[in-house]
Amino acid sequence: MKATESRRYADIVGPDIGEVITEGSTLILPVGAVEQHGPHLPMSVDDVIATETATEVVQRFGSDLDLWQLPSLSISKSNEHAWSAGTLWYSAETMMAVLRDIGRSISTTRAERLVLLNGHGGNTTLLVTALRELRLAYGLKTFLVHPSLPPAYGGSSTEDELGMGIHGGLNETSVFMHLRPDLVDLSRAERKVPEALAENEHVKFGGSVSFGWLSNDFDEAGYIGDPTGASAERGSELFEHAVNRLGDQMAEIAEFDFGR
C-alpha cells in the first residue's frame, strides 16, 4: 500500500517527504495512555481509542483534507494512576519534552498544522499548554481535539453517572467494547460514582473550581463511573458520532488562519 493510500506519515519514503507533505497538510498525532482502567478493562483503552479514532478519521477524510496520521504516542502523563503497579507514565516535564521534540522534527517538513488527538483526559491541561509552546518554538498552527471531550473539562457524561463518568465509565467502556470486545469483562464491573461530590456547587468534575485528584482518591478500584450497562452497540454509535464530528473539526482546521 502506498503512503497516499494509507495516509500514515511513517509510510512515506524519506526522500519524498518534501513533495508528499505540503503547506496544506495536517498532521494528526494520536495521544493515548497505558494505565489502569479498573478490573473490567485493559490498560490499553486510551491508546486504542485514540489510535483507532485517528485511523478512521484519516481514512474517511484524509484524501479530501490532506490529513496524515503520525505514529501514536502511546505513553503519556498518567501519574494520577501512578499508585497502580504497571501503569506507564511520563512526568509532565518528560511529556512536554517529547512533544517539543516531535514538534521540532515536524518543523523540518512543509507542514504547517499539527493536531493532537487526545484519548486520555489526564493529558488535557498539559496539551493545551503544549499548543502554545509548539506555536512559539516552531511556528506551527497547533490544535487539540478529543474523541469525546472529558467531563472533567466541560464534556458531557450520562445523567445516571451524575456527570462523572470520567474514567472507565459507561461511554468509555462501550466504545472499547465496540473496538475490542474480546478484552472487556463486564462481569467484573460495578458502579463507582462518588455520589457526594455531585452535591457540590463548585468543587466537582466540570465545576468552576478545579482540584487535584488521583484515581484512587474516590475508590480503591480506581475507576469513576458506571460501566455496568455498557454495550458494543452504544459504543458503535458513540464512535461514529465522534468520527463525524472530528471530520467537521478537521475541515475547519485545514482552513484555519488567524484572520490576518
DSSP secondary structure letters along 115-172: EEEE--GGGHHHHHHHHHHHHHHH--EEEEE-SS--GGGT----GGGTT---BSSHHH
Element (H, E) at 26: strand 26-31
219 φ/ψ angles, rounded to the nearest 5 degrees: -165, 140
Cell of 62: 484524509
Q: At residue 9, what is the residue type?
A: Y
Residue 153 has pLDDT above 80, yes or no: no
pLDDT in tens, 1-56: 677 889 999 999 999 999 999 999 999 999 999 999 999 999 999 999 999 999 99
Sheet harboring 26-31: ordered strands across?
67-69, 26-31, 113-118, 141-145
Q: What is the pLDDT of residue 45?
A: 98
Q: What is the pLDDT of residue 1?
A: 67
What integer is the mean pLDDT of 103-130? 97
Cell of 57: 478519521
Domain spans, the chain:
3-255
What integer is the mean pLDDT of 240-257? 97
Q: What is the pLDDT of residue 63?
A: 96
pLDDT in tens, 172-197: 999 999 999 999 999 999 999 998 88
Q: How many residues does the chain have?
A: 260
Query: Using CA atoms, how far apart are residues 158 and 49, in angstroms rounded to an integer?
Result: 19
Query: Using CA atoms, how far apart are residues 87 and 109, in angstroms rounded to an integer?
Result: 34
Q: What is the pLDDT of residue 154?
A: 67
Distances (CA, A) of 235 to 35, 40, 184, 186: 20, 16, 13, 14
Q: What is the pLDDT of residue 169?
A: 93
pLDDT in tens, 206-248: 888 989 999 999 999 999 999 999 999 999 999 999 999 999 9
Q: What is the mean pLDDT of the chain?
A: 94
* Those residues with Cβ within 8 angstroms of residue 87's Cβ, 6 or more apart along the chain or in another chain: 34, 35, 36, 43, 78, 81
Q: What is the pLDDT of residue 160?
A: 86
CATH 3.30.450.20 fits 3-255, yes or no: no
